[in-house]
A and B are shown apart, each in its own frame.
Chain A
Amino acid sequence: MAKWGMVIDLDTCTGCQACTTACAMENSRLPGENWQDVLFYHEGKYPNVQLKWLPRPCMHCENPSCVSVCPTRATYKDPEGGFVLIDWNRCIGCKYCQVACPYGVRFYTDEKAVVQPDIRTVFPSEEGRQWDPPWKGPQDDPRRGIGIQPHGVVSKCTFCYHKVSQAPTGVPDLDEDIPELKEYVPACVRVCAPKARFFGDLDHPESRVNKLIADHRGTRLKDETGNKPQVYYLSGGASAAVPSLRAVHQDKA
């Protein structure tokens, strides 16, 4: 049984947002409601300011707090692959999972549009979905939170379950450079131009993701929460593995 995981090399990532765009196209996301995003932030004050960025998909944690708090078992850990998914037919939109997620990667999109004009009014859906984009993909699996997000429920990155779950059994890595496997590679990994993302089986001893984590001291975001993410970051010191989280008082900012 695979335990799919991702490795993101922060020294290689250029912050181009191709992953964000690919994810949005693949999963018919509303503008600004990005399951996968690259967060930009700065540290320090002039003249010692650094611009940094952090790619942030759902961590598909081994011990996900979002799953623990869900009162209807709508969000669950898939035993075959280790995906954290949402059953939209069971979600009640209480947003407790959003509150409980330390990574801020869950989305309730019934609220005010992040990007104006509100594209939901341009492409309105008549099937209870948030919108009806003209370029939507064919995949639709509400029981796994795949497809166009319905009203009143929370959504999140699925690690492109609809692609990854179709991969041949036993493969250690899903690499876009291997022609017979490229269709199973998550969208964000497949389009990464500088090849900063790697996707593979964390339980497979021969997988490249395991070697990268071991050889380059892969770290997990907010590991102190105990959620045990299945996304690892590599950083040789040139970029921060984790952004500075210390809030700055507005008066001092």
Chain B
Amino acid sequence: MTTATMDNKGIQMPILLVAGIGFLITAGLVMFNLSSQGHAAFNTSNNGLFWGFPIVVYDFFLLTSTGIAMVACFGFLFTGETFRPLFARSLWLALAGLSGGVAVLMMELGYPLRAMFLIPFSFAFSSPLYWKVLAVIGFTVCLLLLIWRARATQSTLDSLRGLTRLTLLFAILVTALAGVVYGSQSFRPFWASGDIPAAFIVESVVGGLAFVYFFTLLAYGFQANRVPESIRTVFAGRMGGVFAWAIVLHLVFVVGRTVNGLYGNVEGLQAWQYIVSSPLYWIELAALMTALVIMFSHALRCNILIQVAAAVLVMVGLFIGRYEYIIGGQIIPLFKGSWAPPVLSYAPSFTEWLLLVMAIFLANVVNSLGGVLGITRGR
């Protein structure tokens, strides 16, 4: 093990313990609430808001996972051994994010176990969800294989190139299909658009970069003197530039959608009026813009703590954006009347918030376990 790949094991064990205890408590509370109240513990309803906060959390974690995998695979394929210190850690982090997202989905579905064996064998070719599930299965298998192969001491870029490409392909496929799930709903103009898969891919990469920054630096206790020089060089160098330009692209999609939505007179686009009148939207923009300024400034992005701040700002901004997108597509009811107001009101319930906390804890359990077991060290 070189200095560059040396891990700070000391911090992973406390994280594992805290996250483990946190996960047990939150998962226990969620299970208790769901077993005693069923899905009445959620604030979704038949009035039109069918997919609520649990889907927001699930999608956020899933797209973060594919984004991290895309960053890892792109980084490794295009920069080779330069990215090596981050490769194994990023792949494992992608798996951690995926586990958090899937756990939340299992809590949201009416019949999660039935879904696991019925979807793959239903051959429902017309359903975007069917293809998405197949892609997620392929992505998970590739990710596991790549993690296993990358750990081998004799593994080289050449020996991993094929599998890395395949993992990258599946990561892009999952993300694009997640976009198709929403983008194909032609009568929901807030969602429907051919560019949604592309927007999801960009958003996913931005999230992936933020998480790679944050969790890599977390592994070194956010202490600059502990972070190996090779990682500092990558973070302050080309990767920082890529991060900045990815944020720019994401902002183009966000602002473009907003402007188009505010101009539009089609039923459903009125949601944009509510979104821009909410402080959340401006917090999202401010967070992304601040991160953008940080990452564009070479002087600022050399500082480890400022890198962490930028990553956190992006995480917060993206989460708000995901919430606005999924809820915004449903808050204008398709049929209004005495039973449904012009705009539906929705706020996550306590149990729905718990699901977010549970997913964060679970992802941290898996991620820190990788650190403790030495999986994230790579070669």
| Chain A positions near chain B (C-beta within 8 angstroms) | 33, 37, 39-41, 54, 56, 67-73, 90-96, 98-100, 102-104, 106-114, 151-154, 222, 224-225, 243, 245-250, 253
Contact = CB atoms under 8 A, between A and B. Distances in A.
Contact of B334 (A40, A102, A112): A102
Contacts of B156: none
A250 B278 CA distance: 14
Contacts of A37: 339
Given A71-B133, A92-B111, A94-B129, A103 B334 contact: yes
Given A69-B128, A71-B129, A247-B343, A92 B40 contact: no
Nearest to A51: B338
B119 A111 contact: no
A72 B118 contact: yes
B5 to A, nearest CB: 41
B42 A92 contact: no
A102 B44 CA distance: 18
Given A71-B122, A73-B124, 18 more contacts: A37-B339, A54-B337, A68-B126, A73-B122, A91-B110, A92-B109, A93-B109, A94-B109, A94-B129, A100-B185, A103-B335, A104-B46, A108-B110, A111-B38, A111-B44, A246-B267, A247-B336, A250-B342
B335 A247 contact: no
Given A110-B38, A246-B267, A153 B110 contact: yes
A109 B181 CA distance: 23
Contacts of B188: 99
Interface of B: 38-40, 42-46, 48, 50-51, 109-112, 114-115, 118-119, 122-124, 126-130, 133, 181, 184-188, 267-268, 270, 273, 330, 332-339, 341-343
A114 B339 CA distance: 10
Given A102-B187, A110-B39, A153-B111, A95 B118 contact: no
25 contacts: A41-B337, A69-B127, A69-B184, A71-B115, A71-B129, A72-B114, A91-B111, A92-B119, A96-B129, A98-B46, A99-B330, A104-B46, A106-B46, A107-B46, A108-B50, A110-B40, A110-B110, A111-B40, A152-B109, A152-B110, A152-B111, A224-B187, A243-B336, A245-B335, A247-B343
Contacts of B181: 96
Given A72-B122, A110-B39, A249 B334 contact: no
Given A73-B122, A92-B115, A41 B40 contact: no
A104 B51 contact: no
B110 A93 contact: yes
A104 B337 contact: no
Contacts of A103: 334-335
Nearest to B131: A71
The 3 A-B residue pairs with the shortest CB-CB distance, nearest first, are A93-B110, A152-B110, A41-B337
Contacts of B337: 39-41, 54, 243
A250 B48 contact: no
A15 to B, nearest CB: 11
Nearest to B182: A99
Nearest to B110: A93
Contact of A39 (B42, B114, B270, B339): B339
B335 A113 contact: no
Contact of A104 (B112, B270, B334): B334
Contacts of B110: 91-94, 108, 110, 151-154
Contacts of A100: 185
Contacts of A69: 126-129, 184
Given A72-B124, A111-B39, A247 B114 contact: no
Given A94-B115, A99-B51, A245 B109 contact: no
Nearest to A96: B129
A105 to B, nearest CB: 9
A246 B127 CA distance: 29
A43 to B, nearest CB: 10
A202 B40 CA distance: 40
A91 B119 CA distance: 10
A113 B40 contact: yes
A56 B124 contact: no
Contacts of B112: 92
A109 to B, nearest CB: 7
A247 B270 contact: yes
B338 A40 contact: yes
Nearest to B44: A111
A247 B342 contact: yes
Nearest to B132: A71
A186 B217 CA distance: 65
A79 to B, nearest CB: 16
